[in-house]
């Protein structure tokens, strides 16, 4: 009898962590846009996003919270390789948010 493979999110893999750490903040950003800023046209929203530091902070915090929740899940399930990738991407996003706020 053929055994089935693991569900890809259940694997312990650094590359998976990097991918999840990259995609999760983007999904959180899209979700918040549709829940809170859907009254704006997307181009209008992007203009507002790059003009206002408070909005960059708001989205930055929530995108990082999404990664922190994911990181916590993978740490608690002892998938340290995946957690390392998520942590690395969280640091990169955090630095990116700080740099973006510096130039706005």
Predicted confidence (pLDDT) per residue in 39-88, tens digit: 989 889 888 888 888 988 999 999 999 999 999 999 999 999 999 999 99
Spans of all domains in the chain: 11-103
pLDDT score of 96 more than 80: yes
Question: What pLDDT, on the 0 to 100 scale, is given for residue 51?
Answer: 87
Question: What pLDDT, on the 0 to 100 scale, is given for residue 84?
Answer: 96
Predicted confidence (pLDDT) per residue in 21-39, tens digit: 999 999 998 898 899 888 9
Q: Is the pTM of this model over 0.85?
A: no
Give φ, ψ of 80 to 5 degrees.
-70, -30
Among 29, 26, 21, CA closest to 85 = 21
Alpha-carbon distance 86 to 82, whole Å? 6
Alpha-carbon distance 71 to 57, whole Å? 21
More confident residue, 8 or 54: 54
């Amino acid at each position: 009898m053929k055994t089935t493979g693991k569900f890809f999110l259940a694997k312990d893999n650094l590359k998976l962590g990097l991918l999840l750490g990259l995609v999760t903040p983007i999904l959180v950003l899209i979700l918040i846009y549709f829940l809170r800023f859907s009254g704006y046209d997307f181009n209008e929203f992007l203009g507002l996003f790059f003009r206002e530091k408070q909005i960059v902070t708001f989205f930055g915090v929530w995108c990082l919270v999404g990664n922190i929740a994911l990181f916590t899940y993978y740490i608690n399930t002892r998938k340290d390789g995946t957690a390392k990738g998520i942590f690395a991407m969280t640091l990169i996003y955090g630095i990116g948010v700080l740099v973006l706020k510096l130039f706005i």
